[in-house]
Every structure is written in C-alpha cells, then in structure tokens.
Structure 1
Amino acid sequence: TKTGVYLLQDGNEEPYNIRLHLAKDILTIQEQDVICVSGEPFYSSERTVTIRRQTIEGFGLSIKGGAEHKIPVVISKISKEQKAELSGLLFIGDGILQVQVLRNAGEEVTLTVSFLKKTPAFLKLPLCEDCTCVPSDQSSGTSSPLCDSGLHLNYHPNNTDTLSCSSWPTSPGLRWEKRWVDLRLIPLLHSHLSQHIPGSDVCRKNAFQVIAVDGVCSGVITCPTAEDCLDWLQAIATNISALTKHNVKKINKNFPVNQQIIFMGWVDEKEQDSVQDRMYSSKFLALRGSSLFKFSAPP
C-alpha cells in the first residue's frame, strides 16, 4: 500500500487537496469533510455555532478568502485551547456562510458554517487543526481576524472568558470530526494510466491521471516533485501489470498454447486524419496467438 496527500484538479476548477491510497487492486481518492460521528444521524452540511463571552476578547480563529477569491470566507486558523477549538464545532476549512452578532459589543456571536471540500489550494490551508502547521501569511490570501461591529474572533493570549456553545439541531449527543472520506474509487484492472494531456503528445509536469475501465477518471493528480510523481507512476503501473497478468493467466486456461493471450494493455494510436487538438486516441491491444486485436475498450 501507498498513501500521500496531493493536489487534484477536475476540469477547470482550482486544484484542491486530496489523499491518495493505493492498494493491490484499487486506487482510492479521498477528500476532507466534517461529519457527525456520534449521536443521532445528521446529514445537514451546515452547522450553526453560538459562542458567548463577557468581555471583548479573541475567539481563537482567523480567516482567508472572500469575494476577491470568488469563494466564501474560510476559517484558516484555529488556536489551541481557545473558544473556537473548545466548541468542537468549528474546523479549518469551514466556510462562514453567515455571521450574526446577538448582543452589543460582540458579547455573543452566531456563525453558520459549512465545510468546503474543494477549498482552492492557493489559500494554503493546513490539513490538520494544529495551529503549528498553519502556513505563513506571506502566502496568497493572508489570514485576518473576522470583524463585525467591533467583534474580533482572532487569538488573544490573555483570554480567560468562559465559553458556551450550541449547535443545530440542539443535541448533547452530537460530535463532529474532520476526516478523510472516499471521493472516488478507481479499480486498477485494465485501467489506463497516463501523464499525457488527452489526445496529444504533451506530457503534464509532475502530474498524471488514472481512468478506470468503466470510464471513471481520477482527475489530474499533481505531485510536488518529479521523483514523487515517478514513484506513484511506477507503483500504480506495477499493480496494474500484476492484475493484468493474473487475469491473462485465468483466461489462458481455456485456450490451447498456440491461441493463448500474450499481451493485453493500453496504447496511444496516432490518428490518420488528426486535428490540431486530437492527434492521438487510446486503444486497448490484445495479442492472442498470431493475431493482434484492437479495441476501444477492454473486451
């Protein structure tokens, strides 16, 4: 098995963080989400959190994003042992949908939040709640305190105010956690692994995609270095090859020696009447005995 955190891009969307897990016969792509892990089942994507205080002090969180990035304001930092963390209901990556100041001078504030699964990578949010792994504010999209009518929600080291929180629906049995959850499962048998932009001979830099036999595509997975990318390509290709050989061995039990399958796999065929944006197409080849078969998909 092999696991790591990388960037995934679907179409023209901004890249976002995902976790890859490679097993013998399947590639699992996971995204982060905040889920209810106890109490009655609760499927709403929104959480409403009320935090109260007696004096104007910090709440222990900072934000990034906003209209200039065409995304909601996102929680980018949660300080240890401060009110946001102690609520157990706020997480790095939560998009703030609504802020309501319930009392003058910000004694009580209600936040309606929803975790953004595809937070753009350019915000450089940490993948854990530990504030020590928060990136420098010199990165794009700097953190800032959330303010409303004099209300500051950022960390204050001398904060000793008491905290009380409520969530919707109100239930003492609810507990929320940020976890990696499955986004896509790519079966590796006869899957197509490629670094090239579809239809061209242009190779992506430190990136690849895997397309399952049923057409499910991983999206473009980008690694931080060429070495890391090569390591993943070799690991996935090795698993695909092992599965193919095992499948061929089972099929060949039904054929005499001179009619057995010698090779099966994907190749790129150059189009005879190619247009500028489509020079190549993927074909599945099978060499059986003295015959070569070409398919658009594995038979």
Structure 2
Amino acid sequence: MRIVENPVEERELIESIMKKHGHTPDHNFDWLMYCSDEGEPKTAIWDDGYAVWYYKNKNGLVAVSDPIAPINKYQEVIGEFLKTLFDPDRRIRFLDLRDEAHDIIRNLYTDNYKFDYDIVWPVVDMNLFDPELPGGHFKDIRNALSKFNREHGIEIKDATSVDRKGLHGIVDRWLDDRKKAGIEELYPGRYHNMIDGSFRGTKSARAMFVDGKAVGFNAGWETPNNTSQWSAAIGLHDFSIKDLGLALLMEDLVWIKNAGYKTCDLEGSDPQALRFKTQFFLKFDTYKTYTFWLTNQT
C-alpha cells in the first residue's frame, strides 16, 4: 500500500481503479474531490489495483465510502489501511460505509469503535414509475404539480451553461433554509465546488428556472459497473416556492426514465427525506450506510 498525497496527479490511475472496482455512487473521482473540501484529499493505493479514498483535516482522517475493491478483498484492504494509518494520536472517521465494510471494521476494532449515525438509501425500479401518476394514491401529487405548472413558467437548462452566480445563490439559500430547519449535517462546499468545476464528473446536470429565476438543479451519474442504474446524487433547491422540491424531483425522475435507466439510487436519506424521495413509488428497496469513528479517546 502506498499513499497518494495529491490524487489529481494520479487521476488516471485512480479512475482506472474506480472503473474496474467501483460499486457505490460515491466511487466517482470528481465527486470525491468536491466532497474533500474540508481537508486534504488522499488516496491509499494497492499494487493489486485497489484503493481507499480519504482526506486529512485537523480532527484526523475521514475515509469516504467503501474500499474501491472487490468485497472479498475488504478484509485485506481494510486491515492494512488501518494498520498503517490508525494510531493512538489519530482518529479516523468513516463516512457512509455499507454493511460489509462496516462490520469488518467494527469487529477488528471493537474497543475503538464509536457509532455516529446510519442512513437509508432507497433504490427504485424505474419501470414502476409512470409520469402520468395514475390512480387515487397519487392524486395529491398530481394536483400539486398541476397547480405548480399552471401558476409558474418553468424552463430547464443545461446547468453547465448557466451563470454560476445564480447556481451559487441556490446553494446559499438552500443552506439558510436548512439551518433554520435545524438540520446539522450540511455540506454546502461540495455543491459550490461542483458548480465551480462545471459539474465535471456528472453525466447530466440540469438547472430549473421558475418565472425566469434559477431556483434548483439536478445532477447525477451512472453507478460504477452498473450502467442500468442512475445515481441521483444531487437534487437541490432554494425552498422559495411551494412544491418546488416536488417539481424538481419530478423533473429528475422523468429525465431518468426517458434516459432508459432501469433503477435509480436516490442517495442517503434521513426519515423525512426518505418519505419525500419515495412518494412517487408504491414500493422500493433500501440499504443502509454507517458513519462512525475509530478513536483511542474516551
């Protein structure tokens, strides 16, 4: 194992590892760079072609998502990663790991394990999504969208061609609203970074204008090594209009279905977000990810 101090310098190698062994929505080079704005991004790389993405900040290390490796190699990769980087003076936070990786680490370092939180990721079958929203179950959604579309002028634009100042404004207004709502886990930097990076790493990025003003945007990419699944990574709006979030989600789902994707990962969700994201579906699958610490501090 060796440490890549500047992942950008070895982007081609890291992306080749992701292309071969990536399997979570987070296994996207540009997305991980956007998310590493709170520290210095690093990558641990193995000669066998495996990797772990992490960054270093004043609190220690933060490892993001599962190892970029086959699941049957997790024990080996995680063991060496921790043997090399975990010591009494350094704590490591693991962000959004699935069951297999989480359980290995918890079992290896039971005395050092400190649970933080878990979140649910819904995965929907796009064959079950009908944009017409037929039947009584979807009546309230149909009525809300009909009223929204009737009362407002809506335009969808390629987000890469939109003035960045307007997009940054969406993020700022979103942040203000979420803070007022008492939500603590907010990471505006990654969205600002994505805007400044012209949405590099996404396969589609679309901005919604309502009555001539940019008020939201959707962006995503294919889940690595699963070209039939879309990762709906970004769906962000400024809460300036009633049912704006509903209209933005509808736009995203219609685009995903029209693009031909069979399934869609709607990304990590707290209970309120889970209810909102899945309201267009009568059934859906889920999986969990876990965020936790390894620390020698009591």
Give the TM-score, by structure 2 length. Answer: 0.23
Structure in which a larger fraction of residues adopt helix? 2
> So what's the TM-score if we normalise by structure 1?
0.23
Q: Of Structure 1 and Structure 2, which has the larger fraction of its residues in strand?
A: 1
Which one has a bigger Cα radius of gyration? 1
